Amino acid sequence: MPQTEQESWAPRADNNPYRAWGMTTAQEWKEISRWYPFSVRVYVTTTDHPEWHEQARCSTWEKAREIMQLLGKAHERDAHLPAWVVMKCSLVGKEGREKPILWYPSQGSVLAALRQTNNTKGNTT
């Protein structure tokens, strides 16, 4: 699932590969993003339907990076938490937009975890 650096998605869009589960409305999401534009997420693979879960909201890029790195290192032995990402959330459009800006342990390993999950979903024989 290659992506361009400029690619962004609506937070709840079905095609958003980093969509986090949540119960907030689009308006609530935008209000939170106004003050805390960085979302730290973990990819949880303990079920048949792996999904991203938001772990923190941060006001600065530096805080988001530090939290992601600390959580990633603390859980690096947990195979069911293979990937971490920081999303930059913006107030563009009706629903807002978000795009990944940091990956843990690396962009390649996060994309590999997503590909592996997509391949596993396709092989249901």
For 109, the enclosing helix (H) or strand (E) is: helix 107-122
Return d(Cα 58, Cα 38) in angstroms, integer: 5
The per-residue pLDDT for range 60-84, each reduced to its tens digit, is 999 999 999 999 999 999 999 999 9
Q: Tokens standing for 71? A: 């959580």
pLDDT at 120: 64
DSSP label at residue 18: T
Nearest alpha-carbon partner for 25 in 40, 36, 43, 10: 10
Q: Check if the beta carbon of residue 43 is closer than 8 Å to that of residue 86.
A: no
Parse the chain into domains and list their residue ranges. 26-119
Q: Is the pLDDT of residue 125 over 60?
A: no
Give me the chain's average pLDDT, please.
91
The pLDDT of 20-41, averaged and rounded, is 95
pLDDT at 116: 87
